[in-house]
Chain A
Amino acid sequence: MPATKQKKAVRKSNIVKLKFDTSWAYDPAPESKSAATIKERYDLFIDGKWQPSSNKKYFATINPATEGKLSEVAEATEADVDKAVKAARHAYESVWKKMPAKERGKYIFRIARMIQEKARELAIIESLDGGKPIRESRDFDVPTAANHFFYYAGWADKLEYAFPNRTAEPLGVAGQIIPWNFPLLMAAWKIAPAIATGNTVVLKPAETTPLTALKLAEIIEESDLPPGVVNIITGAGATGAAIVNHPDINKIAFTGSTDVGKIIQRAIAGTDKKATLELGGKAANIIFEDAPLDQAVEGVIIGIYFNQGHVCCAGSRLYVQESVAKQVIRKLKDRIESLIVGDPMDKNTDIGAINSKQQLETIHKYLKIGKQEGAEMYQSSCLLPGKGFWCRPTLFTNVAQSNRIAQEEIFGPVLSVLTFRTDDEVIEKANNSPYGLSAGVWTDKGSKIFNMTKRMRAGVVWANTFNKFDPTSPFGGYKESGFGREGGLHGLLPYLALKA
């Protein structure tokens, strides 16, 4: 090779930098909004009919990427909740409880297939209403939601095999309150096992993301499911409280913040309502020095930046063994430079809009706290759109176990990087959290995986992967991350009473 070329190619290793702002760039590739129909106004879906709320009030739901109004939805009052619960009770006693399980299953299979048929429309609405990239709603949220219905449809007439020598009976009416991070998927997680086991449902989606749940209500209406088996009502905290406090509800299923989870627990104390709570998390993702580092880095990226970090099981605490810490941090910094932040409807977008202004403020608060605590903040250099709610993918290095950014759930695209030396040390630190929803371990050594997963106090522990979901696999937390399991055979149990 000629000397001149050699000179050009060799750079001092401490200044080498990969440049991801390339001359060959992707043109915008937006998914068409016209493939989805969003009504101007949505009423409450009670007893198989669309009904206005008793106070005739509606509130707007906006697109967090543009701040433009998408639609308005009815605000359910206590009277509406009561109406929905009565409809659910009536459907339970008169139809659903008595129906042969095989017939119940057929309805659920039908709903699953209809979700698949309307997959594109559902994905578009999910991204418009919630801000998540269309790639994720198309490839993850919607197909996984359909899979949950398929999976639990299969269980409907096989409960005696799930619980041999026991008689499994439904509980009655389930009140279900779901969050804004996976609106359709959480509705599927809640509704599918509940109705497969013979219960009826009153479900409330989050106030910032009601549209796909309402679209699901349209699907349910079209599926000819008997009226009242699934009621979907919209509203904010007061509506949720009315569901929790309604005396004729047998079971509360809630996914959301730990604070609200505690309020629910207090509210139902002394009643015979059963509950499952899936709450916050601050998952430890642990990279050992023998790990396949490039794949581990990719797993960390997926762990924290998937869905803008609005994931209760997000791997928000990275523990990396000190001998490879420098290397891993360098790779992480390069990797976040190649993440595409912007229009959720663009098929190439990796990170979309933050779900709401309120959540963006929370994230900003923690960025400030992190800096004040002395951690070093690194953000990708991407440009952000002018309107809407956005946050660059962020990582903090030089983080201490005692820092708030290492202890509290931020629920945004913010990673805290901590280092460790030994296995025992990292187990102690990883478990040193009020939460215990999920964790990740990255190592090439099989025995280490089993040692770690056994000692980790978390409901889900992923090994050499992260954020993998399957309807057959149970999901749920330890400690303040909640109790009860969703998914898998375990997910049937919270909706059943077992008799000897």
Chain B
Amino acid sequence: MANAASLNLLPDFSLSPRIDQVGAEERASRFTKRSIKKESKMNGLKLVLNMIDLTTLEGKDTDGKVKQLCYKAMHPHDAVPDLPTVAAICVYPSMVKVAKKALGDSGIKVASVATAFPSGQAPRDVKIRDTKYAVNEGADEVDMVISRGKFHAGEYNFVFDEIAAVKEACGDARLKVILETGELGTFDKVRRASDIAMYAGADFIKTSTGKIQPAATMPVTLVMLEAIRDFYYKTGKMIGMKPAGGISKSKLALHYLVMVKETLGEDWLNNEWFRFGASSLANDVLMQIVKEKTGVYQSANYFSVD
């Protein structure tokens, strides 16, 4: 639960800053105009690879599937030496133990979705138990979903308390709060939900579950990065950002890096504070890295599909 000192700082969330949609979209499009070539492209691609939360969130996930994904996380493409690993594997709570064991001491984190992912339509005690189960299984990070229904109904205290309770259940695990921006409707609401999540104790804010369209977009991520910046100005506390869903191409991922670089700067340009939630991005990044090294594109058949 948020401590008394931070409660004194709590703003009225209904007064969260307003966002001008046209302006936000225009600013986001400016980042796509940056030309990323040569060394900066290679370094950017490696950074992107290192920021990926390699994800499988399917009903048909099995131990075998998760183990294969973990191997990919540790050895993205052994044909190229000195590649970084991805940041984390993101799975359902039931797969945490398998992933944890498969990853061993590789340093790659295990992130688990929880709190009745993806809809979040369950009572609080179920969500807490879901979270505790994931943490007990060994999850380093918990990706929770907010109660969008309650949020739309204006019950901000409910949403706030729920996040704070899940944060408490997380213990030492870092908490990522998924806003599911595709269900929020406006940038004003994205900003408000970001503020609620950060003040309630989120370590990361995350755009989407990947189950709803639209998932992450550049403008919506920008609005959240700017919320993080304002929170940092006010409290001095850094919050991480994770756009998830819909980022499958290297070029787009590099545009996101540009956006982080020019909005929050150096401190956020690492996987401690910025992640990509993605499943197919890794292979496109690998393909680009090989292309940068060899000068030619290789067939997709040379990159493992896991």
Contacts and interface: CB of A to CB of B under 8 A. Distances in A.
Taking each of A12, A24, A347, which has the highest tally of chain B beta carbons within 10 Å of its own beta carbon? Answer: A24
Contact of B18 (A13, A18, A290): A290
A16 B172 contact: no
Taking each of A10, A22, A139, A296, which has the highest tally of chain B beta carbons within 10 Å of its own beta carbon? Answer: A22
B266 interface: yes
Interface string B227-263: 0010011111110000000000000000001000111
A465 interface: yes
A22 B236 contact: no
B172 A27 contact: no
A10 B265 CA distance: 16
Given A1-B172, A13-B233, A292 B265 contact: no
B228 to A, nearest CB: 11
B24 A295 contact: yes
Contact of B265 (A11, A22, A26, A135): A22
Interface in B10-50: 17-20, 22-24, 26-27, 33-41, 43-44, 47
Interface string B91-116: 00000000000000000000000000
A27 B23 contact: no
A464 B23 contact: yes
Interface residues of B, number: 42
Contact of B39 (A12, A19, A27, A294): A27
A2 interface: yes
B75 interface: no
B269 A292 contact: no
Given A1-B172, A23-B269, A16 B233 contact: yes
Contact of A295 (B19, B47, B233, B269): B19
A307 B26 CA distance: 18
B173 to A, nearest CB: 8
Contacts of A327: 233
A13 B261 CA distance: 20
A29 B35 contact: yes
A291 B26 CA distance: 17
Contacts of B212: none
B22 to A, nearest CB: 7
A26 B33 contact: no
Contacts of B37: 27, 29
Interface in A6-54: 9-13, 15-16, 18-27, 29
A27 B40 contact: yes
Contacts of B27: 294-295, 298
A471 interface: no
B46 to A, nearest CB: 10
Given A12-B236, A294-B226, A23 B266 contact: yes
Contacts of A296: 20, 23
Contacts of B43: 24
Contact of B33 (A11, A24, A135, A291): A135
A299 interface: yes
A330 interface: yes
B23 A298 contact: yes
Given A24-B261, A26-B34, A292 B267 contact: no
Interface in A333-355: 338, 347-348
Given A9-B238, A292-B20, A18 B257 contact: no
Nearest to A337: B265
Given A1-B174, A11-B236, A12-B236, A26 B266 contact: no
B98 to A, nearest CB: 25
B53 interface: no
A11 B34 CA distance: 31
Contacts of B229: 18
Given A10-B236, A10-B237, A16-B236, A295 B265 contact: no
A377 interface: no
B18 A444 contact: yes
**B contacts with A: majority SS:** helix
A348 B236 contact: no
Given A13-B236, A16-B236, A347-B35, A22 B269 contact: yes
Contact of B23 (A29, A135, A299): A299
Contacts of B18: 290-292, 444
A293 interface: yes
B256 to A, nearest CB: 12
Interface string A200-218: 0000000000000000000
Interface string B138-178: 00000000000000000000000000000000001010000
Contacts of A347: 33-35
A360 to B, nearest CB: 27
Given A24-B47, A26-B35, A19 B235 contact: no
A26 B226 CA distance: 22
Given A10-B237, A13-B235, A24-B40, A292 B34 contact: no
B182 to A, nearest CB: 21
Contacts of B195: none
Contacts of B40: 24-27
Given A27-B40, A294-B19, A348 B261 contact: no
Given A1-B203, A24-B40, A26-B40, A19 B23 contact: no
A442 to B, nearest CB: 8
B24 A21 contact: no
A339 to B, nearest CB: 9
Contacts of B35: 26, 29, 347-348
Nearest to A17: B265
Interface string A274-313: 0000000000000000111111101100000000000000
Interface in A101-146: 135, 139
B264 interface: yes
Given A10-B238, A24-B43, A347-B35, 15 more contacts: A1-B174, A10-B237, A20-B261, A20-B265, A20-B266, A22-B269, A24-B47, A25-B40, A26-B40, A27-B37, A139-B33, A292-B24, A294-B27, A298-B27, A338-B261
9 contacts: A10-B236, A19-B267, A22-B261, A293-B17, A330-B233, A338-B262, A347-B34, A348-B35, A464-B22
CB-based closest 10 A-B pairs: A295-B23, A29-B35, A292-B20, A13-B236, A19-B266, A295-B20, A347-B35, A11-B236, A18-B265, A22-B266
Interface of B: 17-20, 22-24, 26-27, 33-41, 43-44, 47, 172, 174, 203, 226, 229, 232-238, 257, 261-267, 269
